[in-house]
Amino acid sequence: HAADAHRTDLMTITRFVLNEQSKHPESRGDFTILLSHIVLGCKFVCSAVNKAGLAKLIGLAGETNVQGEEQKKLDVLSNEVFIKALVSSGRTCILVSEEDEEATFVDLSKRGKYCVVFDPLDGSSNIDCGVSIGTIFGIYMIKEGGEPSVEDVLQPGKNMVAAGYCMYGSSCTFVLSAGRGVNGFTLDPSLGEFILTHPDIKIPKKGKIYSVNEGNAKNWDGPTAKYVEKCKFPKDGSPKSLRYIGSMVADVHRTLLYGGIFLYPADKKSPNGKLRVLYEVFPMSFLMEQAGGQAFTGKQRALDLVPKNIHERSPIFLGSYDDVEEIKALYAAEE
Ligand code: AHM
Ligand code: MG
């Protein structure tokens, strides 16, 4: 079709969210504004990540900047970008970042009703070799009445109003759910706009891939060890393939599109696993459920967890419905 060569009717992320919003006459556009600030942060980080290799080699951004300060590490820079973008949106009141020990309380003059929890640049051990990394975020609404407090973000993941991630990979991909399915957008660098490329993502019911850091196997518990053994030596059918990037956004993105299971289990050395509940486990679990998959902690549905502190960790098993069902059965048999 000649018309396909040049698409002229582009569904940008802003248009998409505005469309969704028009179905809710009571909404005042606050979510659209908040989201556009998150998207701006992602575009900034995307551009910084793309230049990272060059910057090192030829000092593109300068090894030292005009003030004579050393060039900021990419994760520190990303954190500053998101904090500033979120505060200036005027729609947030509490921010929790993986980079900051304490939560940030937004000044009264710029305060809004949303709380954002985020990991500005996850998988940072992958930066220097050019492997995909990403930003992960989750959004809560503050409880009505009273001063905002850290309790507003210590809510189970099922209370999130939206969650998503942006992957800085061979292309820049933004995946979002506001509780009505999952949609994926790809950055068109020539336009500087995210365009809807993956409408209504559904994860295959059963997958052929498992994704885990098998180097930790000697410290695993029984059910995890049994599950991975079954992936490699199934009684019936063919073995699963192993794919592990070591960058949660990339491993989860592949799981979402191709199906399968991603595991970061507990082990003897880290009884709560490695990944953080608020800004890693919850947003990814939210997306998985919205796409028709499941997320399990080894004890319960991940989104039912009630975190006691903002940087808490939890084991996590997430992905295709049937695959997670299997690991749940192994844990149930253990009891
Ligand atoms: P980070 O927040 O320090 O970057 O660590 C989180 C990352 C995840 O992206 C990834 O799933 C996990 O660590 C990989 O851990 P490991 O290297 O132990 O397999
Ligand atoms: Mg992280």
> What would the pLDDT profile of 27-45 be if each residue is shown by its tens digit?
789 999 999 999 999 999 9
Question: What is the atom index within ligand 1 of the atom nearest the CA of 215?
Answer: 19
SS3 19: helix
State the distance from the centre of ligand 1 to the C-alpha of 247, rounded, in angstroms. Answer: 6
| pLDDT band (50, 70, 90) for residue 65 | very low
Question: What is the atom index within ligand 1 of the atom nearest the CA of 133?
Answer: 9
Whether the pLDDT of residue 325 is over 90: the answer is yes
pLDDT digits (tens, 9 = 90+) for 172-229: 999 999 999 999 999 999 999 999 999 999 999 999 999 999 999 999 999 999 999 9
| pLDDT band (50, 70, 90) for residue 21 | confident
Ranking 18-22, 113-117, 262-266, 285-289 by mean pLDDT, the lowest is: 18-22
Nearest Cα residue to atom 14 of ligand 1: 246
| pLDDT band (50, 70, 90) for residue 56 | low
pLDDT digits (tens, 9 = 90+) for 294-324: 999 999 999 999 999 999 999 999 999 999 9
| pLDDT band (50, 70, 90) for residue 9 | confident
Mean pLDDT estimate for the chain? 92
Whether the pLDDT of residue 66 is over 50: the answer is no
Whether the pLDDT of residue 53 is over 80: the answer is no
271 within ligand 1 shell (Cβ under 6 A): no
State the distance from the centre of ligand 1 to the C-alpha of 315, rounded, in angstroms. Answer: 13
> In whole angstroms, how far apart are CA 309 and each of 156, 159, 162, 248, 315?
12, 16, 20, 21, 16
248 within ligand 1 shell (Cβ under 6 A): yes
The mean per-residue pLDDT over the stretch 47-51 comes to 90
169 with 49: CB under 8 angstroms? no
Neighbours of 214 (CB within 10 A): 14
Nearest Cα residue to atom 17 of ligand 1: 246
Question: What is the atom index within ligand 1 of the atom nearest the CA of 251?
Answer: 11
Whether the pLDDT of residue 170 is over 60: the answer is yes
Question: What is the atom index within ligand 1 of the atom nearest the CA of 98?
Answer: 2
Question: Quick one: CA dihedral 47, 53, 57, 62, positive or negative?
Answer: positive
> For residues 156 and 163, what is the distance between their CA atoms, to the nearest angstrom?
13
Q: Which ligand is nearest to the CA of 273?
A: 1
CA atoms within 13 A on the CB side of 219: 13
> In whole angstroms, how far apart are CA 143 and each of 34, 59, 93, 114, 148?
18, 47, 11, 10, 8
State the distance from the centre of ligand 2 to the C-alpha of 74, rounded, in angstroms. Answer: 13
pLDDT at 60: 47
265 within ligand 1 shell (Cβ under 6 A): no
The pLDDT > 90 percentage for the chain reads: 81
pLDDT at 129: 86
Residue 71 makes CB contacts below 8 A (sequence gap 6+) with: 55, 61, 62, 63, 64, 65
274 within ligand 1 shell (Cβ under 6 A): yes
275 with 314: CB under 8 angstroms? yes
Give pTM, 2 decimals.
0.94
The rounded Cα 59 to chain-centroid distance in angstroms is 30
Whether the pLDDT of residue 54 is over 90: the answer is no
Question: What is the atom index within ligand 1 of the atom nearest the CA of 244?
Answer: 19
The pLDDT > 70 percentage for the chain reads: 93
Q: Given strand 209-211, what is the order of strands in its sheet?
A: 241-242, 209-211, 261-264, 316-319, 294-296
pLDDT at 16: 94
Q: Which ligand is nearest to the CA of 136?
A: 2
Q: Distance from first CA to last CA of the chain, Å, rounded?
A: 59
> For residues 136 and 166, what is the distance between their CA atoms, to the nearest angstrom?
7
Q: Which ligand is nearest to the CA of 253?
A: 1
247 within ligand 1 shell (Cβ under 6 A): yes
> For residues 140 and 155, what is the distance between their CA atoms, to the nearest angstrom?
8
Whether the pLDDT of residue 7 is over 80: the answer is no
State the distance from the centre of ligand 1 to the C-alpha of 75, rounded, in angstroms. Answer: 14
State the distance from the centre of ligand 2 to the C-alpha of 247, rounded, in angstroms. Answer: 9
State the distance from the centre of ligand 2 to the C-alpha of 14, rounded, in angstroms. Answer: 27
ipTM, 2 dp: 0.96
Q: Looking at per-residue confidence, does 73 or 232 come out higher? A: 232
212 within ligand 1 shell (Cβ under 6 A): no
